[in-house]
Structure 1
Amino acid sequence: MISCKSEKKKEFEKEVKIETFITDDFEIIKPIEDSKAVLILFGGFGEKAVDIKREFQVLDIAKKNQISLVLMNYSNKLWLEENDKKNLATLLQNTLEKHNLSHKDIYIGGFSSGGIVSLLISNYITGMKEFYIDPKGVFIADSPIDLLALYKASEINIKKNFSDVAVQESTWILQLFNKELGNPKDGISNYEKHAVFTSESNYTKNLSNLKNTKIRLYTEPDLNWWKVNRKTDFEQTNAYYIQKLSKSLHKLGFKDVAYIATKNKGYRANGDKHPHSWSIIDKENLFNWILNNN
């Protein structure tokens, strides 16, 4: 018997070949052929490119979607001075230009303090005519955006003396902030000048150039975890101030701001449950946002 049915040809996905460039400042992983967009990532305090790869595990999905990654070694910053902004913006522009990526759709994001850097540098680049790498979108993952609130939460942590980790970190924060920004009892202008957001005065000027930029604010308000492990109230968490920032930006008419509160997604690469983690970001959804402009 002769069959007249035509067999469907198997469709094979074209293999995306990538190339990697490593310097002291960054690691670039990009398709050899045309990439569809560029994603610049900043890690949390002290994190380097290798840590981002371990905690975010984004290489495979970026390759599949033909998106170039720029993993920054730039960390140890809770705010950016003017010279920091100019130097970082220049580094990013020169890097993207050198690797033929400056004309692509650019997205910038980061975890924890890396989210602070992402928002501040995106606002700076967008507002300066000498730079032409304005990001189409920027996102943060559980970042301590309000420095004044962080100062006050640190005072509470030391007074409670419940968690050694929290006390050590809080002691360091108070010493650093008192030295560099001053005691807020003497005035909060330095905190407003340097922070992404100061909720006490509803100060959002440091984001004013991003009114037409897509913004995503990820956080996991796991109240039970914070209460059990740090004896921390919701009002002392990053999630509380991220939520307040979202509401403020909406009232100010920012075009596209999404507050994304997750549940039970916060886990470190070693399996430890922790709401302050890269893993709260849904990678598939993030890449759809980048590629589909939604």
Structure 2
Amino acid sequence: MKQTIIILFLVLAITACKDNTNQLQSPTQTPSDYQNIITTHYQLYKPTQKAKAVLILFGGFPEQADDIKKEFKILELAKKNNIAVLLSNYNQKLWLDTQDKQQLATLLQNAITDNQLPTDAIYIGGFSSGGVVSLLLSDFITASKQYNINPKGVFIVDSPIDLEALYKASQKNLARQFSEVSVEESTWIQNTLTEAFGPPETNLDNYQNNSVYTYSSNYTKNLQHLKDTKIRLYTEPDTLWWKTNRKADYDQMNAYYIKKLAEQLQAQQFKNVQYIPTKNKGYRSNGDRHPHSWSIIDVEDLVAWILND
């Protein structure tokens, strides 16, 4: 799984729609009184009794449900606390257009309704590009009257929230030519963003309209409907690791822009924004040290946050 200095988690575009006919496995009871429901779009783990809350998770590229389950060890604790967990197969998205948001919101609403899950205790979060999906989708759902699944909380894990910054960081990588992986991924980013939006120097509006946040202009309107929503912003700003392994400067890291976003939202009087920097917690499931990992989340603290109204 290749990494860039900021991420490059992109995704398998899927058609998000109600999917009862594509169910691959019927609900089966587990020893802990949970059902495991698998469809082409997600895996759902839900208690046989009424759930206290619903946690919806989005991975980064190329993560699907099984990958999230492997990298983010939260299922057992969620089961002990009667929390339903939906692991999404939706990925490959550094931004969402209106159709993406509508289809994905409809898919989630159908999943929650069909499985009789609570609609008043929904939490949405994601790693890397999955965090971008989580924030943009949560803002869209909260602003739309047609859905009844407004999230109570949303969180990101070291996500690339600023597309203009991502473009410029890739420019630095290409000029530096430090490693084959870095050059390959930065070339992809440059080509993808240029094709979609043009260069930011002459098309800043395109980047602002599609990013979670644009630091250069302090643009946060894509989160304006989340002022009353609990928000957590996780990141591990290990500048030494990024400098050693990617020759990356601090302003090329996701962590830099996540901190700036937290400051902006707090200044705009968002009610509950937590910036959570960690230290030496980032490790992949294979034991490799990497600050860009699911593992920077303290799962016990996250569950307490979900259950604390």
TM normalised by structure 2 equals: 0.89
> Does residue 263 of the first structure (1) align with residue 279 of the second (2)?
yes
The amino acid across from 1:85 in the alignment is K
Say which one has the larger Rg: 1
The amino acid across from 1:66 in the alignment is N
1:157 to partner: Cα distance: 0.7
Which residue, out of 202, 206, 228, partners 2:222? 206
Name the counterpart of 1:70.
86
Per-residue CA shift, 1:160-202, capped at 9, x if unaligned?
A: 1112222111110001001011111222000000000000000
Give the Cα separation in 1 of the matches to 2:93 and 2:224. Answer: 21
Indicate the SS of the match to 1:184.
coil
TM normalised by structure 1 equals: 0.93
1:143–1:238 contact (8 Å) kept in structure 2: yes
> Does residue 253 of the first structure (1) align with residue 269 of the second (2)?
yes
Give the Cα separation in 2 of the matches to 1:47 and 1:103. Answer: 26
Indicate the SS of the match to 2:291.
coil
Per-residue CA shift, 1:29-79, capped at 9, x if unaligned?
A: 011112110000000122100000000021111111110000000000000
Name the counterpart of 1:8.
none
Measured on the aligned residues, the alpha-carbon RMSD in Å equals: 0.9
Give the Cα separation in 2 of the matches to 1:76 and 1:102. Answer: 28
Give the Cα separation in 1 of the matches to 2:179 and 2:260. Answer: 26
> Does residue 215 of the first structure (1) align with residue 208 of the second (2)?
no
2:123–2:152 contact (8 Å) kept in structure 1: yes
Q: Structure 1 stretch 160-169 or stretch 69-78: which is displaced more?
A: 160-169
Which residue, out of 85, 98, 103, partners 1:87? 103
1:103 to partner: Cα distance: 2.7
Which residue, out of 133, 137, 140, partners 1:124? 140
Mapping 1:219-230, distance limit 5 Å: 219-230=235-246
Per-residue CA shift, 1:64-98, capped at 9, x if unaligned?
A: 11100000000000000000001100111011000
Give the Cα separation in 1 of the matches to 2:185 and 2:268. Answer: 34
Indicate the SS of the match to 1:70.
strand
Which residue, out of 173, 176, 182, partners 1:160? 176
The amino acid across from 1:44 in the alignment is G
Give the Cα separation in 2 of the matches to 1:251 and 1:163. Answer: 39
Which residue, out of 154, 167, 170, partners 2:186? 170
Name the counterpart of 2:305.
289
Name the counterpart of 2:50.
34
2:51–2:118 contact (8 Å) kept in structure 1: no
Which residue, out of 294, 298, 307, partners 1:278? 294
Higher relative contact order (CA 8 A, sep 6+): 2
Which residue, out of 119, 138, 149, partners 1:133? 149
Name the counterpart of 2:37.
21
The amino acid across from 1:227 in the alignment is K
1:42–1:71 contact (8 Å) kept in structure 2: yes
1:163–1:229 contact (8 Å) kept in structure 2: no
- Unpaired runs of 5+ residues, structure 1, are 1-14
The amino acid across from 2:174 in the alignment is I
Q: Structure 1 stretch 30-39 or stretch 109-118: which is displaced more?
A: 30-39
Give the Cα separation in 1 of the matches to 2:236 and 2:192. Answer: 27
Give the Cα separation in 2 of the matches to 1:259 and 1:166. Answer: 28
Indicate the SS of the match to 1:135.
coil
The amino acid across from 1:121 in the alignment is L
Per-residue CA shift, 1:233-262, capped at 9, x if unaligned?
A: 111100000000000001111000000000
2:126–2:156 contact (8 Å) kept in structure 1: yes
Mapping 1:54-69, distance limit 5 Å: 54-69=70-85
The amino acid across from 1:168 in the alignment is E
The amino acid across from 2:56 in the alignment is I
> Does residue 100 of the first structure (1) align with residue 116 of the second (2)?
yes
Q: Percent identity?
A: 58
Give the Cα separation in 2 of the matches to 1:70 and 1:275. Answer: 25
- Unpaired runs of 5+ residues, structure 2, are 1-30
Give the Cα separation in 1 of the matches to 2:255 and 2:119. Answer: 34
